[in-house]
Amino acid sequence: MRKIMRCVAVAAAVTLVAAGCANGSDSSSGGGSGPIVVGSVNALSGAATFPEASAAAKAVFDAANASGGVNGRQIQYKALDDKGDPAAAAAAAREVVGADNAVALVGSSSLIECEINSKYYEQQKILSIQGVGVDPSCFNSPNISPANVGPFHDMTLTLLYGSEVLKLDKICALLEIAGNTLPSYQAAIDEWSKITGKKLAYMDATVPYGGSDYTSYIVKARSAGCKAITVNPVEPDSIGQLKAATAQGWNDVTWLLLTSVYSENYAKAISNAGAGVYVPAEFYPFTDAASAQTKEWRDLMTKNNIPLTSFSQGGYLAAKYFLQVIKGIKGDINRESVTKALHDMQPISDPMVGTSYTFGTGQTHHDNTAGWPIKLMSGTNKWELAATDWLRIPKN
């Protein structure tokens, strides 16, 4: 009996260990004065992986190299893995910035990289065009400017769509808070309140990431009288929440979610979407296969066998912006000249985004404020366009 007890005590600790698996990342070594070294720090292995952004950036650079490179110089792209681990993220940044002497970081996509490395980038005077920025540091650092809208403006957009377009009242928020993100989400909700004069009916910021059963949170929201729920979920959590609502027979709730759930995989997993799942897509919706806006990106991704996702859109755009800027550099292309060019650049517009991109010399970079509304209705298992134009956060 005592042995069993001891066993349980040990194992209660041991079972906390979750296992991950590694995807290979191929980054060639080398350097020298010949090629232009460009880096990125990505979640390529670990529990949550985002390999598409850097793969898409690589595809853009490979295509540029194949057509002669930039001013006759080839681009050497190094995508490093942060393994979802702060120590590995810091080491990866030091490797590519310190040892490989990269001129800039382009197309990074990670949950923790910005927070860990933003101060280091300031010290090293290197700029990062993040492919997909997630944590608040991606948007309030002078040296990082993501290609995407980001979850905070995305939340303001999804609330605007719910209250102003769908005319829903009694909107509630279930927030999954990781690290220091609560003030940023609160600011996003406050911005919506400021624009519309409306308030949330109810907010629960205690919803856990990676929970197995969300029934009690759903029951609580339902009894608070919510008609629509906005969440900032990762895919599996959102699926769990929708299923908990289905099991409760709550079929008239509208879900106002973020781009984090916009994938074909998610659509296949959802058979009952209540009164509909609405998302302001951060880039022009890739599921609209016939669209001219995404054709160039789609062709390049398909040719390189890269999954068609929002992440590959972000990585692709980051690399395109970067190429366009460095093509205009007169003289040597090094870290100083690239930093100067990005600081002085003219805004670049692209049909895949609603806001034109500029790096500039701002202390923060949170200027991408447009999303394209899409919806997922019950029984369709397919994302559809919900609008014919970008939804924008009005300028105050």
Partner 1 sequence: MLQGALAGLAAGGLYAVLAVCLTLMSRLVRVVNFSQSATGMFGCYVAVWLSIHIGLPTWAAAVVGIVLGSALSALLGWIISTWLAEADIGTRSAVTVAVLLLLISLSFILFGNKPQPFHPLLPGPAFSVNGVVVSQVTVVTVVLSVLIALGCRALLTKTSFGLELRALSERPTTAELMGIPAKPLAVAVWAATGLLSTLVITIVAPSQSNDATSLSMLVVPASAAALLGGFRRLDLAVVGGLVLGMAQGAVAQVDSLSVVRYFLPFLVIVGLLLWSQRKEVWDVAR
Residues that bind partner 1 (CB under 8 A): 1-9, 11-12, 14-15, 17-21, 47-49, 204, 206, 208, 210-220, 223, 235-237, 239-240, 243-244, 246-250, 263, 265-266, 268-269, 271-272
Check residue 305 and give left, alpha or beta (phi > 0: left; psi -120 to 50: alpha): left
In the chain, the largest separation of any two C-alpha atoms, in whole Å, equals 78
Per-state percent for the chain, helix, strand, coil, to nearest 5: 40, 15, 45
Shortest distance (Å) from residue 348 CB to partner 1: 32
Query: Measured from the CB atom, is 218 or 319 closer to partner 1?
Result: 218
Nearer Cβ to partner 1 (3/330): 3
Q: Is the dihedral of CA 333, 334, 340, 341 positive or negative?
A: positive
CB atoms closer than 10 angstroms to residue 4 = 8
Q: Supply the minimum distance, in Å, between the C-beta of residue 110 and partner 1.
A: 15
Nearer to partner 1, 12 or 292 (CB): 12
Question: What CA–CA distance (Å, rounded) separates 292 from 309?
Answer: 16
Least separation in angstroms between residue 207's CB and partner 1 is 8
Query: With respect to partner 1, which residue has the nearer C-beta, 213 or 332?
Result: 213
| Least distance CB 134 / partner 1 (angstroms) | 17
Nearer to partner 1, 19 or 66 (CB): 19
Instruction: Name the minimum Å distance from CB 190 to partner 1.
Output: 20
Shortest separation between residue 1's beta carbon and partner 1, angstroms:
7
55/288 Cα distance (integer angstroms)? 22
* Alpha-carbon distances of 49 from 20, 46, 254, rounded to whole Å: 10, 6, 29
Question: Residue 363 CB, nearest distance to partner 1 (Å)?
Answer: 34
For partner 1, the closer of residues 7 and 165 by Cβ is 7
Residue 342 CA to residue 344 CA, distance in Å, equals 5
Give the DSSP letter of residue 393: P
Smallest gap, in angstroms, from Cβ of residue 232 to partner 1? 15
Q: How far is the CB of 46 from partner 1 (least distance, A)?
A: 9
Which of 60, 42, 63 shows the shortest CA–CA distance to 51? 42
Nearer to partner 1, 275 or 329 (CB): 275
Nearer to partner 1, 179 or 210 (CB): 210
CA–CA separation, 233 and 240 (whole Å): 10
Phi, psi of 130 (to 5 degrees): -65, 135
Rounded Cα gap, residues 40 and 332, in angstroms: 22
Q: Which is nearer to partner 1, 180 or 271 (CB)?
A: 271
How far apart CA 52 and CA 307 sit, in angstroms, is: 7
Closest CA to 162 of 275, 284, 241, 242: 275
Burial class (CB in 10 A: 0-12, 13-18, 19+), 292: exposed
